[in-house]
């Protein structure tokens, strides 16, 4: 895990600028930092290192290929680097390796096979940039699902890229314009969807893509090496042929192999254990192949409505892990709120970011790498919205269109988000629009309806469509951002085994009834994942309602310290002052929340945005 940055310019003091950029991402790589400069083109690369594999100087970056043609800066881990290394040696494409880092192996694979083929071969998480000295080209890329971040764009006419948007702020005469469309999307989703960023002209690179830039690096050409939607459709059209029992055994095997490969590190390694299905599966499989107890971490809360630490302890006791639990007071949770703009340097308002940061901080006290159970919901049907929206869709379809339009018009201008959602739900023409209408706060702060297109069409089920949509948007732009930034704030590398290429391939091929089904009048979500877990943990330990990993946001915003802070800054809103949002809308949002207790997430979005804007724009 590291931080990368670079730019192309002959107008600036390259050494000073790259040093400033490196300094801004020291938290992503506290162990070492260096740079590369080509005086012919002005190409400058910077790197900060968090040493995970090959702790010696042979793993330092920027790194030049054996042939001297290519230079790489790279953030991430290639879990099958051993396989790629052996392949290169057997095919006599390299004579040997200077060290044991996956950086060197990946670089030589790119030099030997070309970038697209090398990345298709690689299993891992990464963001990287390659400079070809011969052709004077720069190519940037990102992993399949978007575990690692990468921003790029042009600053004062110069091409630049970085792991974190805050790093770009170190560039001379930084003065970008806020993208009002990105603001609208943020208010709706609590995050900014790829490829947009908060600033015009600065973009997030799409997962699974390579962007090639030729000198003088003004225009990029996009090349796709992995497309989640296409792979999902391939899985649906080539479904798993065996029984549910056989599918369970195969998931156990494939996920186990992914975890084995992701356990490789030259530093201490552990895992988050929340007490839920997803993290418990990961820990159970880790412990089954580990020679010593796995180090596991959870945080507990004073409020029993949010606390799952007892369940996590029971699972840890059963599996025999070396478990650490830290009880967090509500005041400790609140103390993270002013840090959100520092940790998440672009607006992001998923309130579970607060406990995620705290559990990352706890884990960092004992390990440098931690595995998590993220992606279980999106791959195996864990969110209750999937089956609830599917049921709603089937109920709405028979209603005559004229009647739906009449009913929808009654609620379309309501400040009550429930009525607003009902209105947009009735106007939904397909499952894509219905999923959008039900899941996101909109109440008059943003355009009434955002058109969505079907990603699967007639190829898969209604629930497949929703899972794919979340895997392509909500997961990379919310969940993975949350995990990456929270971990990197304390220099902890987080790994996500369920996003392994082979796990994805199997999950995409599973029939929907293996993921979500009805038994004895009850909905069983994550059916196959639970079946894997029950091989290691008794069902009775897991048979309890899930409480989630969240904070008492409704309570915080209703009264007390966070309420007072929020109302104070909104009373003197810089966003309203500068015309970015409507003062009337903000006041209306506050009033309806206090009088009816509704729209807390939308209100939180505005509060976090205001904090961010004050920090970075006065």
| Structural contact between residues 177 and 200, judged by C-beta atoms closer than 8 angstroms | yes
DSSP 475: I
What's the Rg (C-alpha) of the chain? 24
> How far, CA to CA in Å, does 145 sit from each of 149, 353, 490?
11, 20, 23
Residue tagged active-site, from 2, 8, 325, 439: 2
What are the two backbone dihedrals, phi and then psi, of residue 108, each rounded to the nearest 5 degrees? -70, -30
How far apart CA 530 and CA 210 sit, in angstroms, is 36
| Structural contact between residues 287 and 294, judged by C-beta atoms closer than 8 angstroms | yes
Structure tokens at 174: 């930084």
DSSP 199: B
| Structural contact between residues 432 and 446, judged by C-beta atoms closer than 8 angstroms | no
- Alpha carbon 64 to chain centroid, angstroms: 30
| Structural contact between residues 593 and 417, judged by C-beta atoms closer than 8 angstroms | no
Whether 2 is a known active-site residue: answer yes
Q: Work out whether strand 32-38 and strand 493-495 pair parallel, antiparallel, or are unpaired.
A: unpaired
- Alpha carbon 307 to chain centroid, angstroms: 24
- Which residues are registered as beta bridge partners of 211? 140, 222
How far apart CA 24 and CA 46 sit, in angstroms, is 11
Length of the chain, in residues: 618
How far apart CA 251 and CA 522 sit, in angstroms, is 24
**566-602 in b/e burial notation, b at 16+ Cβ within 10 A?**
beebbeebebbeeebbeeebbebbbebbeeeebbbbb
Residue 328: left (phi > 0), alpha (psi -120 to 50), or beta? beta
| Structural contact between residues 581 and 594, judged by C-beta atoms closer than 8 angstroms | no
Sequence-ordered list of residues with C-beta below 8 angstroms from that of 167, at least 6 positions apart, any chain: 3, 5, 21, 24, 25
DSSP 351: T
Q: Work out whether strand 322-328 and strand 369-371 pair parallel, antiparallel, or are unpaired.
A: unpaired
Element (H, E) at 542: helix 539-542
| Structural contact between residues 616 and 578, judged by C-beta atoms closer than 8 angstroms | no
| Structural contact between residues 233 and 149, judged by C-beta atoms closer than 8 angstroms | no
- Which residues are registered as beta bridge partners of 271? 296, 371
How far apart CA 80 and CA 126 sit, in angstroms, is 13
How far apart CA 126 and CA 163 sit, in angstroms, is 10
What residues act catalytically?
A: 2
């Amino acid at each position: 895990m590291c931080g990368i940055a670079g730019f192309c310019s002959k107008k600036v003091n390259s050494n000073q600028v790259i040093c400033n950029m490196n300094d801004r991402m020291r938290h992503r790589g506290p162990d070492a930092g260096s740079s590369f400069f080509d005086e012919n083109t002005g190409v400058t690369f910077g790197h900060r290192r968090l040493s995970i594999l090959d702790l010696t100087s042979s793993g330092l970056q920027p790194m030049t290929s054996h042939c001297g043609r290519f230079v790489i800066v790279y953030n991430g881990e290639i879990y099958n680097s051993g396989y790629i290394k052996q392949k290169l040696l057997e095919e006599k494409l390299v004579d040997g390796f200077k060290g044991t880092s996956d950086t060197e192996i990946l670089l030589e694979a790119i030099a030997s096979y070309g970038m697209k083929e090398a990345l298709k071969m690689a299993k891992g998480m990464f963001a990287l940039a390659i400079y070809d000295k011969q052709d004077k080209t720069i190519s940037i890329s990102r992993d399949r699902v978007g575990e690692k971040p990468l921003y790029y764009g042009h600053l004062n006419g110069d091409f630049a890229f970085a792991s974190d948007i805050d790093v770009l702020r170190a560039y001379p005469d930084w003065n970008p314009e806020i993208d009002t469309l990105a603001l609208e999307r943020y208010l709706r989703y609590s995050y900014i969807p790829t490829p947009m960023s908060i600033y015009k002209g600065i973009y997030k690179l799409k997962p699974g893509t390579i962007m090639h830039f030729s000198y003088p690096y003004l225009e990029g050409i996009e090349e796709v090496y992995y497309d989640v939607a296409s792979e999902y459709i391939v899985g649906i059209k080539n479904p798993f042929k065996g029984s549910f029992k056989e599918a369970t055994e195969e998931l156990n095997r494939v996920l186990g192999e992914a975890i084995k490969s992701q356990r490789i590190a030259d530093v201490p390694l552990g895992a988050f254990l929340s007490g839920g299905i997803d993290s418990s599966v990961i820990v159970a499989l880790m412990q089954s192949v580990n020679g010593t107890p796995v180090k596991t971490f959870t945080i507990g809360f004073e409020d029993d409505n949010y606390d799952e630490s007892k369940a996590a302890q029971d699972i840890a006791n059963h599996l025999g892990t070396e478990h650490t639990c830290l009880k967090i007071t509500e005041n400790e949770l609140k103390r993270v709120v002013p840090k959100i703009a520092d940790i998440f340097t672009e607006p992001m308002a998923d309130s579970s970011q607060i406990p995620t940061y705290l559990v990352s901080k706890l884990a960092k006290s004992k390990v440098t790498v931690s595995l998590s159970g993220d992606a279980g919901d999106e791959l195996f049907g864990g969110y209750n919205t999937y089956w609830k929206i599917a049921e709603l869709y089937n109920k709405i379809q028979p209603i005559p269109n004229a009647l739906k339009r009449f009913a929808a018009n009654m609620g379309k201008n309501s400040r009550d988000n429930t009525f607003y959602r009902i209105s947009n739900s009735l106007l939904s023409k397909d499952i894509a629009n219905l999923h959008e209408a039900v899941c996101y706060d909109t109440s008059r702060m943003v355009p009434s309806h955002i058109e969505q297109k079907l990603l699967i069409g007639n190829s898969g089920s209604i629930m497949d469509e929703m899972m794919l949509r979340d895997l392509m948007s909500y997961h990379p732009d919310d969940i993975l951002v949350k995990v990456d930034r929270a971990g990197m704030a304390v220099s902890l590398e987080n790994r996500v085994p369920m996003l392994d290429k082979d796990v994805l391939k199997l999950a995409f091929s599973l029939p929907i009834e293996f993921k979500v089904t009805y038994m004895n009048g009850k909905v069983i979500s994550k059916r196959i994942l639970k079946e894997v877990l029950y091989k290691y943990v008794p069902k009775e330990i897991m048979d309890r309602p899930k409480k989630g990993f969240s904070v008492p946001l409704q309570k915080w915003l209703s009264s007390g310290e966070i309420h007072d802070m929020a109302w104070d800054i909104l009373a003197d809103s810089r966003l309203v002052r500068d015309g970015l949002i409507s003062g009337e809308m903000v006041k209306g949002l506050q009033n309806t929340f206090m009088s009816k207790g509704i729209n807390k997430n939308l209100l939180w979005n505005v509060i976090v945005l205001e904090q961010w804007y004050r920090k970075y724009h006065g």
